């Protein structure tokens, strides 16, 4: 692994998957005793949830009602 001229590195897929590092995940680097550590920043669930809701608002254009969708999700139909 190497650092690009822009200071970028690629985090191996198995590490990204095991830590849940998805695109746009906020991370932090810190140094301790001559070693560099990467840490996933933790958002409060309400902040992350609010961001997802805002992103999805107005995206659904189906003909089913909310009750119908919930019934299908629950296996009631």
Q: What is the mean pLDDT of each run of 10 residues along the chain (77 residues)?
A: 92 90 88 93 72 81 85 84
3 state DSSP class of 18: helix
Q: Are 44 and 59 in contact (CB under 8 A)?
A: no
Reference 1, options 27, 38, 28, 48; nearest CA is 38
CA angle 19, 23, 28 (to 5 degrees): 60
What per-residue confidence (pLDDT) applies to 10? 93
Q: Are 28 and 41 in contact (CB under 8 A)?
A: yes
User: Which pTM was predicted?
Assistant: 0.48
Give the whole-angstrom CA distance, residue 49 versus residue 34: 37
What per-residue confidence (pLDDT) applies to 53? 82
């Amino acid at each position: 692994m190497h650092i690009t001229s822009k200071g970028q590195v690629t985090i191996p897929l198995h590490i990204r998957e095991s830590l849940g590092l998805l695109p746009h995940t906020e991370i932090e680097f810190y140094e301790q005793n001559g070693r560099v550590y990467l840490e996933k920043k933790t958002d409060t669930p309400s902040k992350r949830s609010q961001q997802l809701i805002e992103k999805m608002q107005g995206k659904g254009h189906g003909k089913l009602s909310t009750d119908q969708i919930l019934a299908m999700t629950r296996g009631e139909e």
